[in-house]
Structure 1
């Protein structure tokens, strides 16, 4: 009996130690699950069952148990009943994790939105296009290539746009052309474009030094907005999603996500130390906010001057508790609207006759960042060194977690959108599409 009690005591001690050292991880797991559940149910209009089966079904997130209260517009997630996190939905702002009870009843400013144009054909409106058949497209090969990235590859949507016309489009079960899908880090490319618009309107110059008061007494004062856009500031940042890191703490524990990168020291050389950082993208969101006299102007600007301006009316940019757009991660839109974003770049900022940003901005975002080995521009990813050997080197793309992509191929007059739950063989897929269209 004494031996049994000693073994039981030892097991209890082991459990206590395990919980103690893993408790912070439970906070992140529950936070991810609650936030993703709330956004999926209330922004994307999916069911809890569908969300748990498809979006939250991977380790360790599947350790969480999710609950939705539609009347309160909230989702809670609990891990082994040891820790529970709550996310609430706010109309116009998406979902956000709460940190205190006061967050649940606080009032929030919301952006003003334009009415969608459902009369003009796509892409300049949302009405269906007239049937257009291109003699230089092998539609059988194109459709076969598109179909190849569904099924086990877990694509949710693919839209191929050639000469402003949708020439191939496919959706997984449960998804349609009206389904909002999270772009994850493609939001960074949206944010970068906002800076392009602001520079076009003479609200700022990206060559200006970053307006951060806390940096003015040390070498960080020499960091420019350009350096931040290229993620080449030299600032410390740990972008690791497999552990408690800067990025996981920022996304699931911080009230103001713009401040975390601001507080980091300079470790590398400015303009010679490329380091992928979601903290930098959110810092830039905070810098954008400083360009406006009021918070309402900041909220409205992203939609009025870019998103709604090009008819991406389905898009929802989610904010943190401090009211900043989470520029690193949280933009939802339909695949067709993500396609409009690609077309804006294909046309070098010209949208149906109106110049949204300077023509050279598209070249700027596709210019390789020093020390990035040709893979990164200004919040866009590149093929400048031919990493995808069968794809043109001037192809560039918005890139998001789990395989979200908007590819822009300037010479081929082509935009390709792929939304997914896993990565694919990009070179093989893009090669197949390119071989379907004779130039």
Structure 2
């Protein structure tokens, strides 16, 4: 009997030790999980106008994040989340700035500047204005095949998890579809599509003669070492040489930055070199937020920084649904937190299809498109300057000249100049669950000369 009790005791002790190890090693991750849930819930509800239950049942039902419990505080326009009652985090929504995670023990200032926006609706039909799209039949388009192509994206809702699709051909809206709860005006989180939006702001600055891409980035802490050679071009091409771990499966550079840091721009600036500037390619959300912080330095006042992307780009082409969320320090989260409706993401793609000319209003030089679509050495021809490319034929059934703004969970703005097409797809799944190549192949078949 004593031997049995001793064995049981040892088993319980061993189990306790194992559970203790698991708890203490996994406990720090809980704050990332609860931070993700709180931030996403606050933005989805107060920025995108989504129903909290729908967000819980869909957006938060992803590995690990599903362990969280999120609650909405409508009175204070906030959301809180925890995991098994532990590591509670809170995110607060601010009009014009989006939602922000509060560092523990802090509160937001009572008053904060917000972007001054001019959003006068244009009576012109979409995409030029805010009126309904022109009801017209474009010669040469096989609309039956186009419906088949759009069907491809929604064929298996439980696996593909597509939410919205929209197709622009020669500047005309020729097809779109939305699942229940979403429509043409519902803001959708672009995740890393925001990187391409941030790059566009740099393209506008260059066109206006306010910045040169070969200029070394003005980071004071870099001036005494090799990092002083890092240029804006290196940063836009993810070739800074700075160490960075873009791993979303646990505690890493990127998850610490997005869900623990108050000042995301400072995160990458503190890193040491893993190689000389320009010597290697390393995809880094930290780089994008560093660029956002450096962008802030281009202006004499914080208000000018907030206003510039909207005045010179976003509202200028009618993307009135777009919101660039800021971090706790007030900088745009240029890596991840840009929201816009599907139609406004389509406007963004059309601006690039038109090579910076918005129906007679030029925002950036036509050469900027050549710059962002030139393959970056070391990327395997998959990446340009804050845009993804098909130069490596990663999409084998799609023309090689396609370039893309891509985001987590399969957010895409596909721009195909040789076919005069912009295709937008948003959802909650990416490859292999959502086969973007098969989807685009079917859509392309609806247009003249569709085969690559």
Measure how far apart 1:109 and its partner are.
1.3
Alpha-carbon distance between aligned partners in 2 of 1:129 and 1:273, rounded to the nearest angstrom: 45
1:285 aligns with 2:292: yes
Structure 2-normalised TM-score? 0.94
1:353 aligns with 2:360: yes
1:405 to 404, 412, 432: 412
> 1:203: which partner in 2?
210
1:262 to 229, 244, 269: 269
1:386 aligns with 2:393: yes
1:18 aligns with 2:25: no
1:172 aligns with 2:179: yes
Residue correspondences, number:
439
> 1:117: which partner in 2?
121
2:146 to 121, 142, 145: 142
Alpha-carbon distance between aligned partners in 1 of 2:279 and 2:120, rounded to the nearest angstrom: 44
Q: Gapped runs of 5+ residues in structure 1? A: none
CA RMSD of aligned residues (A): 1.4
Alpha-carbon distance between aligned partners in 1 of 2:355 and 2:134, rounded to the nearest angstrom: 25
> 1:431: which partner in 2?
441
Q: Gapped runs of 5+ residues in structure 2? A: none
1:31 aligns with 2:38: no
Alpha-carbon distance between aligned partners in 2 of 1:61 and 1:21, rounded to the nearest angstrom: 17
Measure how far apart 1:101 and its partner are.
4.2
Alpha-carbon distance between aligned partners in 1 of 2:56 and 2:109, rounded to the nearest angstrom: 27
Alpha-carbon distance between aligned partners in 2 of 1:156 and 1:146, rounded to the nearest angstrom: 11
Q: Which stretch shifts more, 383-392 or 201-210?
A: 383-392
> 1:50: which partner in 2?
54
Deviation >6 Å, runs of 4+: none
Q: What SS does the corresponding residue of 2:267 show, helix, strand or coil?
A: helix
> 1:417: which partner in 2?
424
What are the Cα deviations for residues 39-61 of structure 1, in whole angstroms up to 9, with x where unaligned?
Answer: 11111111110001110011100
Alpha-carbon distance between aligned partners in 2 of 1:260 and 1:204, rounded to the nearest angstrom: 23
Measure how far apart 1:105 and its partner are.
4.5
Alpha-carbon distance between aligned partners in 1 of 2:200 and 2:80, rounded to the nearest angstrom: 34
1:77 aligns with 2:81: yes
Alpha-carbon distance between aligned partners in 2 of 1:389 and 1:45, rounded to the nearest angstrom: 38
> 1:126: which partner in 2?
130
Alpha-carbon distance between aligned partners in 2 of 1:221 and 1:11, rounded to the nearest angstrom: 52
Distance 1:289 1:193, change over 3 A: same
Measure how far apart 1:15 and its partner are.
3.2
Q: What SS does the corresponding residue of 1:417 show, helix, strand or coil?
A: strand
Measure how far apart 1:352 and its partner are.
1.7
1:63 aligns with 2:67: yes
Structure 1-normalised TM-score? 0.97
Are the equivalent residues in 1 in contact too, given 2:126–2:134 (CA < 8 A)? Answer: no
1:92 aligns with 2:99: no
> 1:247: which partner in 2?
254
Matches within 5 A, 1:198-237: 198-237=205-244
Alpha-carbon distance between aligned partners in 2 of 1:238 and 1:75, rounded to the nearest angstrom: 29
Distance 1:222 1:420, change over 3 A: same
Alpha-carbon distance between aligned partners in 2 of 1:103 and 1:366, rounded to the nearest angstrom: 42
What are the Cα deviations for residues 226-276 of structure 1, in whole angstroms up to 9, with x where unaligned?
Answer: 010000111100000001100000000000000111111111232220000
1:369 to 352, 366, 376: 376
Q: What SS does the corresponding residue of 2:91 show, helix, strand or coil?
A: strand
Q: What SS does the corresponding residue of 2:367 show, helix, strand or coil?
A: helix
What are the Cα deviations for residues 130-163 of structure 1, in whole angstroms up to 9, with x where unaligned?
Answer: 2111221110111111111112311110000001
Are the equivalent residues in 2 in contact too, given 1:123–1:164 (CA < 8 A)? Answer: yes
Are the equivalent residues in 2 in contact too, given 1:147–1:170 (CA < 8 A)? Answer: no
What are the Cα deviations for residues 321-347 of structure 1, in whole angstroms up to 9, with x where unaligned?
Answer: 000000000011100000000000011
Are the equivalent residues in 2 in contact too, given 1:89–1:95 (CA < 8 A)? Answer: yes
Alpha-carbon distance between aligned partners in 1 of 2:50 and 2:21, rounded to the nearest angstrom: 38
